[in-house]
Structure 1
Amino acid sequence: MNQSPMRFIRQDIQSMHAYAIQDSTGLIKLDAMENPFALPAELQSELGARLGALAINRYPGSRIDDLKKALGEYIDLPAGTSLMLGNGSDELISLLAMTCDVPGASILAPLPGFVMYAMGAQLQGLAFHGVPLTADFELDEAAMLATMGEHQPAITYIAYPNNPTANLWDAAVIRRLIAEAATYGGLVVMDEAYQPFSSRSWLDEIRAHPLANANVLLMRTLSKFGLAGVRLGYMVGPQALVHEVDKLRPPYNVSVLNAECALFALEHAQVFARQAAHICEQREVLIDALGKMPGVTAYPSDANMVLTRVPDAQRCFDGLKADSILVKNVSKMHPLLGECLRLTVGTPAENAQLIHSLQKHL
């Protein structure tokens, strides 16, 4: 008898759940930390003409180098570092796990945090060590240092700011964690996915103290910049380290369409900067309104989302959805997130509808 080919599919993969994306058809979409503002009409036409003129019958060529150069200029790439591109930050996370897959290697990250850190470890067959945050969503320095001392993880992820808690952590604590990782040759990856909305960037630390950050890689994405549909991430770090990770990057991992969209966006960076500033203003409006609701706690945010604790997360989630508003119910993700919703900051009109609906369903 023929045997099922499932016998060759790893058992841990068969036991996994695929990354879930909520159906947002017909709903105000406030669940995925996307920039709610579309490209202005005149820029849509201009971008369309540029994309239409691309040689899509050819593999990506020197235009990818043009994008790397433009990104380097945009962020003022620190001396002694280089930059590589990924198909979103998710690909970079996978490549990092693959790069560091040596016997006994593991990955560490605070919890709750971005789920792809643990998934990247699991898919590569590496151990994952999750260290819970404190009750007020700060890094538990003692627990982090103890875990690093015991397991010497190859990679320690620090999201700056964190998802889903949206806060920046104490820079002094992060410096000590970086120093601890350096004692055994571990990498620290600073994930700045929400940098357009953040009051601080670790890139400034890298510029000011390059030797102290010689084991640090910094990841960013253009998703929150306003190009979530383009799928483009990038990573910055010491040239020797980035060179090794870049060896594993699939050829032509960034399409000519993605690259041209990103170049176009960087040429019009002021448009996206104004959008980010508007989102930050609306974030404060949303936090202020949430703070006036009985039984509701809105946590400080340096991202384009607000973690909010409500009396009954499922009831509020269902009520909002009945009013055609989709948010993220994170209350089951981790014990620290009990009765919490993650609210993406939307347009003024979307935020007003969110506030009105949430008041109704508390």
Structure 2
Amino acid sequence: MTPLADRLHATIRQDVQSMHAYAVQPSAGLIKLDAMENPFTLPPDLQRALGERLAAVELNRYPGTRQDDLKGALAAYAELPAGCALMLGNGSDELIDLLSVACWRPGATILAPLPGFVMYQLSAQLRGLNFVGVQLTADFALDVPAMLAAVAEHRPALTYLAYPNNPTANLWDEADVQAVVEAVREQNGFVVIDEAYQPFASRTWMPKLADQPHVMVLRTLSKFGLAGVRLGYLCGAAPLIAEVDKVRPPYNVGSLNVEAALFALENGYEYARQAAVLREQRERLQAELATLPGVHAFPSEANMILVRVPESQRAFDGMKARGVLVKHIAGLHPLLANCLRLTVGTPEQNDRMMQALKESL
């Protein structure tokens, strides 16, 4: 019998063997402000109502027409333009993967700015597409000339533009994004505007879909307040979504996920209230961070703030020792040197986070 190590070496793809699995930081006993989650739970009356709703779901059946009900509710919530459709995913991560599957051809390329969301590159790699990253400017703006040159050279099948961007949290200039959108149109590719942080942003690309059939908008309910539900949706011209939908696994979104999402949309006022609090807290944190010597907080239109500190590893370790977990991202890209990513939490959590940061600098 071949030893397992030899069998793995002979059978598992070499690039997979060289990868590291996505790591989730242990957070037991810590204030968890590392993953851009909504820190609020539902009020007790809504928790009870949701529990009763989920208890009535027929778990012995495959997901059925309630998926169509959810798509209708999401279309209304997102104000989906006429002539457009949407499809559901098990989180936006699955939809990114399905786009890679749908667009694979020999030599096909995916393009995205860097630093950016890691799943764009990972999906391209795992699905056998080329990935081209274009570095942002020093202040994390789109480098439009570099983006246009990359589009012309590589003619990408898919170009991802996170709006706002992760992990930098900034919302790129609308004219800069439009320039890239137009360049991709001329090269017969598609653009995905990733609006994962839409509840906290001042602008959306959604209304433009009616006039830009080569553009799709990707969203998730994770930042809305349902990170544990794992539900994303992809919007675009109906014929385009119909093609991508062909590679979607049947029953990819479970009945409990669908019902929980419908419940959340029906009670959207509570999630809107939570988002308003988080936007207010974001501005409060920005003002406080501006007073700290040696700390630079970058502009944010998400529920996170990117900060550069004198010694990021020391600050991260110090905050963790004081019971606050944030994200140390200095190693993800050279532009992120000495950077931490702070999730905006409840007012009380933010008090603890700021105190821990001050004591850890």
Whether TM-score is above 0.5 comes out as yes
> How far apart are residue 183 of structure 1 and its match?
1.2
Aligned to 1:226: 225
CA distance, structure 2, for counterparts of residue 251 and residue 98 of structure 1: 15
Query: What's the TM-score, normalizing by structure 2?
Result: 0.98
Aligned to 1:289: 288
**Aligned to 1:37, what secondary structure does the other structure show?**
coil
CA distance, structure 1, for counterparts of residue 2 and residue 358 of structure 2: 59
The answer to whether the 8 Å contact 2:329/2:341 transfers is: yes
Aligned to 1:349: 348
Aligned to 1:5: 7
Q: Is it true that 1:173 corresponds to 2:172 in the alignment?
A: no
CA distance, structure 2, for counterparts of residue 214 and residue 63 of structure 1: 27
CA distance, structure 1, for counterparts of residue 150 and residue 165 of structure 2: 20
Aligned length: 358
Identity %: 61
Query: Per-residue displacement from partner, 1:241-298 (whole Å, max 9, x unpaired)?
Result: 1001100100000000000000000000010000000000000111111110000001
> How far apart are residue 361 of structure 1 and its match?
1.2
Q: Of residues 106, 113, 129 in structure 2, which corresponds to 1:110? A: 113
CA distance, structure 1, for counterparts of residue 299 and residue 179 of structure 2: 24
Letter in 1 for 2:166: N
**Aligned to 2:181, what secondary structure does the other structure show?**
helix
Q: How does 1:28-67 map to 2 (within 5 A)?
A: 28-67=31-70
Letter in 2 for 1:99: A
**Aligned to 1:164, what secondary structure does the other structure show?**
coil
> How far apart are residue 5 of structure 1 and its match?
3.2
> How far apart are residue 160 of structure 1 and its match?
0.1
Aligned to 1:315: 314
CA distance, structure 2, for counterparts of residue 196 and residue 337 of structure 1: 25
Aligned to 1:162: 165
Aligned to 1:182: 185
CA distance, structure 2, for counterparts of residue 225 and residue 26 of structure 1: 25
CA distance, structure 2, for counterparts of residue 358 and residue 14 of structure 1: 37
> How far apart are residue 205 of structure 1 and its match?
2.6
Aligned to 2:153: 150
Q: Of residues 99, 109, 128 in structure 2, which corresponds to 1:96? A: 99
Q: Is it true that 1:216 corresponds to 2:215 in the alignment?
A: yes
CA distance, structure 2, for counterparts of residue 274 and residue 301 of structure 1: 19
CA distance, structure 1, for counterparts of residue 90 and residue 264 of structure 2: 16
- After TM superposition, which residue ranges in structure 1, 4 or more long, deviate above 6 angstroms? none
> How far apart are residue 326 of structure 1 and its match?
0.3
CA distance, structure 1, for counterparts of residue 216 and residue 130 of structure 2: 20
**Aligned to 1:168, what secondary structure does the other structure show?**
coil
**Aligned to 1:190, what secondary structure does the other structure show?**
strand
CA distance, structure 1, for counterparts of residue 7 and residue 174 of structure 2: 50
**Aligned to 2:125, what secondary structure does the other structure show?**
helix
> How far apart are residue 176 of structure 1 and its match?
1.3
Q: Unmatched 5+ residue regions in structure 2?
A: none
Q: How does 1:263-342 map to 2 (within 5 A)?
A: 263-342=262-341
RMSD: 0.8
Query: Per-residue displacement from partner, 1:78-124 (whole Å, max 9, x unpaired)?
Result: 01100100000000000000111011101000000000000000000
Aligned to 2:123: 120
**Aligned to 2:178, what secondary structure does the other structure show?**
helix
